[in-house]
Amino acid sequence: MGGLQKKKFERGSATNYITRNRARKKLQLSLPDFRRLCILKGIYPHEPKHKKKVNKGSTAPRTFYLLKDIRFLLHEPIVGKFREYKIFVRKLKKAYGKTEWSAVERLRENKPTYKLDHIIKERYPTFIDALRDIDDALCMCFLFSTFARTGKCHVQTIQLCKRLTVEWMNYVITSRSLRKVFLSIKGIYYQAEVMGQLITWVVPYQFSHDHPVDVDYRVMATFTELYTTLLGFVNFRLYNSLNLVYPPKKLSALSASLARVVSSAEEEEAQLDHFPTEGEDMEKMEAREKELKQQEAQKKLFEGLKFYLNREVPRESLAFIIRCFGGQVSWDKSVCIGSTYEMTDETITHHIIDRPSVDKQYINRYYIQPQWVYDCVNAKVLLPVEDYFLGVTLPPHLSPFVEEKEGDYVPPEKLKIMALQRGEKTGNEQEEEEEEEEEEEEEEEQEEEEEDDNGDEEDDEEEVAEEKNLKKMEEQRSQGKVIFKVTPGKLKVENKARLEQEEKAEEKRLAIMMMKKKEKYLYDKIMFGKKRKVREANKLAAKRKAHDDAEKAKKKKARK
Amino acid sequence: MAAARRLKRVAVSQPGFLTLNPKVGPTDLVSSRRKRVNKNKKKNWNKYSDVQDVEEFLEDVRHQERTTGGLLSEKSDDSLFFLDVGQPKKVEEKEAAEPVKGKKRKGKSSRPLRIDLILQHDSRVAPPKDVLAYQKPNAKKLRRAAERAEKLAAKGVVPRSKKRLLNRPVVDRTSKKTETEANNNPERDFYDIWGQETKDLGEPWYLQQTRKKLVKRPEKLNEKPSVLPAVEVIAPGGSYNPDFFSHQELLREAHEVEVKKKKVEDKIERQLAYNKEDTATEETILREQVEGLVEESEEEEEKEDAPKEDGEEVAVGAIAVADKKTERQRKREKAEKMKEQQRLAERRQTEQQQQLFQLRSIKTSIKQQEEKTQVRQKRRKAKEEAQKAQPRRLGKLKFQPQDMEVQLSDELAGSLRQLKPEGSVLMDRFKSLQKRNLIEPRERAKFKRRLKVKYVEKRAFKEIS
């Protein structure tokens, strides 16, 4: 008992935090400088768990930092540079005021600068750490590279951003690592797989800038300052990993391939290890192998195709994508430098155009709308070109970033693509079919309706979905073929399988019966949830069907 | 000096010596009458020895030296005298011509100014030499050191100071140049920052003390403040050419957001609403103005009466005092209290005893309690997990999500060419940074004018208007 009375707010969480203003005073920096320092060093404000304890009894909202973080900041050499810069500005102002131009010049020459290299090394100790955080850097650099020289940010920054982004795109082209593209109303989303990391970034459309007023440009510029440094170092490392010369020369057009350090660097095809690791099943191995094969195929998607871009399509984005998958691309000379062949070239296979009609058409090339390229990339196969011809209403552009779970509603367009992916052989037939389809639309519709009615009654939902696909995608003839093939010898096998299935079902039923009351309750709940999902998906599918029918009817009326 | 003086004395004592001062003759040097004084005291030396003649003589010598640059007696005759042959004619002519010329070149006077002539140094005696200028302190020591150094150099031994200069690390001029390069220079070059090993410039203790080694970054700082991804891809309905249903879904979401906003606004409006009948009309305003002017006397009287009565009643109630308890009453109360306490203690004991038989129910209740706490813990943990993805409250303002980017069905473009981009990527990035707790939401600082602006009409403008 006894002793001195404990004072309030002298221990515990009150001593772990520091308010922003106090931190600023401790570092002897102005608020903008302090904010800059925090961004560069990666020190963020922290919300305390018990604000009242930290804020000395007051509940007023305030910005808090952890005291240890601020103590760490005290050791940063850049802090000194900030102070020097402050003095520099003061001297410069004075010299200006006195119109001492020689002094101004001398001061300008000795302007204090700082480097962020050590901060990059400190924040990202390994290259992989840096790659994991590159999303932000890419977004910011791509964004700043589209800025006009309006004085919102420094011209040099814009130029640096441009250079870095072009370097990055060239790396992606050379390594063929682009995976997904998505044209949204906001901008274009890209996803690439670099060294096993999935990297997503968004690029604004060209000429779409109305500068929002409530964005703090100073903060954004600070982030960009850090991220340009980061991206530069990452680019260097990536170029080195492919034996490419860094910095590359003459890049801006995206049409030339990069110079290699070792000239005879052929594409080595990475062979997957064939001995499975202990824990892995053979099935998994196979799946992985299949995936890898698919990826390889996707990388060579546009190989051998020759594209020509009309002047109204987004050139940079399309050139980037086409070159990412091995296609050749060119454009009009007057649009941009770097065009490799002219429109009159007879070997052009695809002419990408975004206007209702053209006067002079070459017979040996497809005139298609730009969406085809994007959809092909996402589908990982060359889609039939008929849906993308001039003046044709385009099929919807689906987001490749959505991954449907079992039982979710899947739009029919996606089902179509999935079917195409599975049966790649039928690609040619498919085109013919669709031509026929256009003619025989009405008949098929009726048939489809009937079939769908039958299908709904069946129990297993997956089968229904698959059958639907088959019925929609493949003609009945092909189905018939399958049946013919099956009949001679494989009946027994099917029987076995069925027997097994039955046994399994029986076991399951028994297991359910043996369940405890509690578990049973949970199980029922889960099953109910699944069923509900399926029901909703069905509802949506039916709705879609009704919608499509209505549309078709409209079209028919319009035609008549 | 002393030698020179002696020489002068000797010269003076010669019979042919001429003095400039005619009064002082060589015979006066020896006085006729002599006072008898003790000469063994220094005081007397000064007092009674007559040095007037010597002084005068020396003064004369100095005078000669000053004006002629030496003793006249030593000079040759040629330098002292010249033959007077009258004035040459040419000079006269010149003098006659001079005034004309002098008038002509009035501007540049070749003659020095009189003031300068007065101030000129007119002594013929050369200034004494500054001896100190020729003397070196420690000359001997330095000479010896130089000799030693020469000897060592001949042997090939390099002195320590030179050795240190030679051994100092080479300053890389190029690195200095890159230091002054701006951070956003578009031509800047990069290098393999992760590949190279950091060079050890010295022992760690030295580096640490001189702040050349950076402090290690705490591990905790590498954790991200939010679990959200850097880039959140827009919903499938945000495609430029969306699937019908996903578009509808997105529209519905946007609609819900709008409805919520509207609800909040409506609520505020409702709270701010007032009864329309309460507004002031002309009649009520007039009544208010006249209030108290008409029939005031009656009302006042009534009012004055009322509070008095109230006051009296209150006073009576307040002063009510309880009666004092008697001794007996106190004792009884105490006994009752004791009894009550005893009763309660007994009861507690019996209850405890009874609990032995209730063990089972107690166990179950404990179990129930534990289960309850477990459930609560789980719930709390789930809540914490959910909170991790939420933006925190980091400052005065709460995080405000940006408006959803949505295009209505009739706004959708048929082709990529006709697409009108919605929203701004810049705003999206900025909000994403806020959402991930990297920066605190903040309002733009308002511009505050410190001094009042004074409007003055210019004169030119005034004339017109």
Most confident of A133-137, A292-296, B113-117: A133-137
Q: What is the pLDDT of residues A343-389, one digit of tens each?
A: 888 899 999 999 888 888 888 899 999 999 999 999 888 989 988 99
The answer as to whether B236 is a domain residue is yes
Which of the pair, A321 or B200, is modelled with greater confidence?
A321
Q: Report how far Cα B245 is from the mean position of its chain's Cα atoms.
A: 61
The CA distances from residue B357 to A16, B360, B364, B368, in Å, are 52, 8, 14, 19
A90-99, A502-511, B304-313, B394-403: which has the minimum mean pLDDT?
B304-313
- Asked if residue B101 has pLDDT above 50, the reply is no
Q: A132 and chain B: CB distance < 8 Å anywhere?
A: no
- Name the DSSP class of A273: P
For position A93, what pLDDT does the model report? 96
- Alpha-helical (H) ranges within A406-516 are 412-422, 427-439, 441-457, 461-473, 476-486, 491-514
- The encoded tokens of residue A39 equal 């961004």
- Residue B17 pLDDT greater than 70, yes or no: no
List pLDDT tens digits, range A169-186. Answer: 999 999 999 999 999 999
Q: Could B416 and A219 be called an inter-chain contact, meaning their C-beta atoms sit closer than 8 Å?
A: no
The pLDDT-based confidence of B18 (bands split at 50, 70, 90) is low
Q: What's the mean pLDDT when you consider all of chain B? A: 81
- In a domain, residue B36? The reply is no
User: Does residue A16 contact residue A67 with C-beta atoms inside 8 Å?
Assistant: yes
Helix runs in A180-333, H state only: 217-241, 282-299, 315-324
* Beta pairing, strands A328-331 & A366-368: unpaired
Nearest to A449 by CA among A552, A331, A323, A322: A552
**Structure-model confidence comparison of residues B280 and A397, the more confident one:** A397
Q: d(Cα A86, Cα A33) in Å, to the nearest integer?
A: 9
**What pLDDT, in 10s, does the model give residues A125-143?**
999 999 999 999 999 999 9
Distance (Å) from the alpha carbon of A76 to chain B's nearest alpha carbon: 8
For the segment A475-486, the average pLDDT, to the nearest whole number, is: 45
Annotate A188-225 with b (16+ C-beta within 10 A) or e (fewer): bbbbbbbeeeebbbbbbbeebbeeeeebbeebbbbbbb
> Do B395 and A540 count as a contact with CB atoms less than 8 A apart?
no
- The domains found in chain A, sorted by start residue, are 13-75 (no CATH), 82-114 (no CATH), 117-242 (no CATH), 282-422 (3.40.50.10190), 431-550 (no CATH)
Q: Give the pLDDT band (50/70/90) at residue B1.
A: very low
pLDDT recorded at residue B105: 52
Rounded average pLDDT over B324-342: 95
Here the tokens at position A492 are 């027994």
* B251 part of a folded domain: yes
Token digits of residue B8:
């002068």
The whole-number pLDDT of residue B173 equals: 61
- Give the mutation candidate from B226, B252, B396, B440 for the A interface (greatest A CB count, under 10 A): B440
What would the mean pLDDT of B59-78 be, rounded to a whole number? 87
Q: What's the confidence (pLDDT) of residue B57?
A: 94
Taking CA A75 as the corner, what is the angle to CA A73 and CA A76, rounded to the nearest 5 degrees? 70
Residue pLDDT, tens place only, A258-269? 665 544 333 333
Q: Which residue has the higher pLDDT, B334 or B101?
A: B334
Mean pLDDT along residues B133-144: 88
Q: How many CB atoms lie within 10 A of CB A291?
A: 11
Q: Best-predicted range by mean pLDDT among A296-310, B106-120, B361-375?
A: B361-375
Give the whole-number percent of chain A exceeding pLDDT 70: 80
Q: Does A501 touch chain B (CB under 8 A)?
A: no
Confidence at residue B34, expressed as pLDDT on a 0 to 100 scale = 66
Q: Over pLDDT 70: what percentage of chain B?
A: 79
As for how many domains chain B has, the answer is 1
Is B115 part of a structural domain of the chain?
Answer: no
User: Does B425 reside within a domain?
Assistant: no
**Residues A169-228 pLDDT 10s:** 999 999 999 999 999 999 999 999 999 999 999 999 987 667 788 899 999 999 999 999
> What pLDDT is recorded for position A54?
93
B239 φ, ψ (degrees, to nearest 5): -65, 155
Is the bond preceding residue B242 a cis peptide, omega within 30 degrees? no
If you average pLDDT over residues A416-426, what whole number do you get? Answer: 68
CA distance A254 to A170: 7
Give me the domain span that covers residue B247. 203-270
pLDDT at A436: 42
B-chain residues near A369 (CB < 8 A): 415-416
Is 60 exceeded by the pLDDT of residue B245?
yes
A44 contact B CB<8A: yes
**A302-347 residue pLDDT tens:** 988 999 999 889 989 999 999 999 888 998 888 888 888 888 888 9
By the 8 A CB rule, do A83 and A28 touch?
yes
Task: Measure the CA–CA gap between A529 and A525, rounded to whole angstroms.
Answer: 6
pLDDT at A38 over 90: yes
Cα angle at A186 between A184 and A187, to 5 degrees? 70
Maximum Cα–Cα distance across chain B: 165
Quote the pLDDT of residue A437: 43
CA distance B198 to B196: 6
Query: Of the candidates A113, A143, A228, which has its C-beta nearest B426's C-beta?
Result: A143
Please count the residue pairs, one from chain A and one from chain B, whose beta carbons lie less than 8 angstroms apart: 247
In the prediction, which pLDDT does A494 show?
Answer: 57
Q: What is the mean pLDDT of chain A?
A: 82
Residue ranges of alpha helices (H) inside B127-243 are 131-134, 139-155, 160-167, 173-179, 204-209
Contact of B244 with chain A, judged by CB distance below 8 Å, is answered with: yes
- Could you tell me if B383 lies within 8 Å of chain A, comparing CB atoms? no
Q: Using 50, 70 and 90 to split pLDDT, how confident is the model at B296? A: low
Q: Is residue B256 part of a domain?
A: yes
Residue A177's pLDDT is 93
- Name the residue among A127, A156, A233 with its Cβ closest to that of B190: A233
pLDDT at B102 (0 to 100): 45
**Weakest-pLDDT range from A512-526, B122-136, B262-276, B447-461:** B122-136
**Which range has the worst mean pLDDT, A416-425, B334-343, B441-450?**
A416-425
Give, in degrees to the nearest 5, the angle at Cα B212 between B211 and B213. Answer: 95
**Strongest mean pLDDT among B134-138, B322-326, B371-375:** B371-375
- What's the pLDDT at B131? 81
Q: What is the pLDDT of residue A406?
A: 72
Could you tell me which residue, B73 or A41, shows the higher pLDDT? A41
User: So what's the pLDDT on residue A423?
Assistant: 66
Contacts of A160 in chain B (CB under 8 A): 184-186, 188
Chain A interface includes B405 (CB < 8 A)? yes
Confidence of residue B412 (pLDDT cuts 50, 70, 90): confident
Query: A390 or B316, which is more confident?
Result: A390
DSSP output for A236-261:
HHHHHHTTB-SS-SS-TTS-SPPPBS
Greatest mean pLDDT range, A489-498, B49-58, B195-204, B256-265: B256-265
Question: Quick check: is B280 in a domain?
Answer: no
